[in-house]
Structure 1
Amino acid sequence: MSYKASGNAIVDRSFYFACDIVIYAEKLKEKRYFEIANQLLKSGTSIGANVRESQRGVSKKDFKNKLGIALKEADETSFWLDVIEETKIFNVPSSLREDCETLIKLLVSIIKNS
C-alpha cells in the first residue's frame, strides 16, 4: 500500500520530507558517512512519525506534546544538516534545507495556535 496524501499540509510535508531524508541518508552511507547518516535518518524521519502520531492525540495537550517532539526532531535535523554543510563532507541540497525550515515554521505556528 502506498502513501495517500491526506490533504493536511504538515502530515503530507513531513512524510515526503522523511522520504527525502531516507534517500539522502543512503547517499551519505554510500560515501561511508554511516554515523551522521544514521543520526540524520533518525531525527529526519521522526518528525513525520510524531506528526502522524499527533493526529491521534487523545487531548489537545497530547496533540501539542507530539508536535513539540516533532519540532525538536526538526531542529535536530537542521543541526545535522548544518554539520554536514560546515564540514563540507557532502553537498546538502537546498531543497532539503528549505523543506526542513518550512517544517519548523509550520510546527511552531501550529503549536502556538493550538
Structure 2
Amino acid sequence: MDTPELKHRTFQFSLRILNLIKALPQGAGMFRLGDQIFGSATSIGANYRSALKAKSKKDFIHKIATVVEEADETCYWLELIIHGEILPKEKVQDLLNEAHELTAIFASTLKTARQNLNS
C-alpha cells in the first residue's frame, strides 16, 4: 500500500471512529470512553503523517512505533465496547478489523525500518 492510500485509509478510519463516538450512549463513563478512543484512533493518521516528515531514520522509527501503540490501543477500546455490550458487535466489528489491520501494517513497517537501520 502506498503512502497516499495509507494516508487516506487512516483519515477515513478517523472519520468512522467519529461516527462511532456519536453513537455511544449518554451516561456515566461514556464521555471518557469516547474521548479515549477519539484520541488513540485519530492519532494513528496524525502520527503517520508526522512520521512521513521525520528528520531521520531514527525519528521515523520512533514515530511509527507511536502509530503502532495508538493502533493497538484503539483495538483495546473497540474490544471494550464490544465485550462491554456498549454497542452492538455488528456496529463495531468492521472498525475493530480495520484497527487490527492498521496495527499489522504499521508493525510490519516498524520491523522493516528497524532492520534497515541496523543493516
What is the distance in 2 between the residues matched to 1:57 and 1:7?
14
Q: Output the amino acid matched with 2:14.
A: A
Corresponding residue for residue 63 of structure 1: 60
Shift of the alpha carbon at 1:7? 5.0
RMSD: 1.5
What is the distance in 1 between the residues matched to 2:12 and 2:87?
21
Shift of the alpha carbon at 1:11? 2.0
Q: Residues 1-114 of structure 1: matches in 2 within 5 Å?
A: 8-28=4-24, 31-32=25-26, 33-91=30-88, 92-114=91-113
What is the distance in 1 between the residues matched to 2:8 and 2:93?
19
Q: Is the CA contact 1:10–1:103 (under 8 Å) kept in the aligned structure 2? A: no
State the TM-score, normalizing by the size of structure 2.
0.83
Identity rate, percent? 32
What is the distance in 2 between the residues matched to 1:86 and 1:21?
17
Q: Is the CA contact 1:67–1:111 (under 8 Å) kept in the aligned structure 2? A: yes
What stretches of structure 1 move > 6 A for 4+ residues in a row? none
Q: What is the number of residues matched between the two proteins? A: 107
Question: Helix, strand or coil: the match of 1:108?
Answer: helix
Higher relative helix content: 2
Q: Output the amino acid matched with 1:46.
A: S
CA pair 102-7 structure 1, distance change in 2 beyond 3 A: same
Q: Name which one, 1 or 2, has greater alpha-carbon Rg.
A: 2
State the TM-score, normalizing by the size of structure 1.
0.86
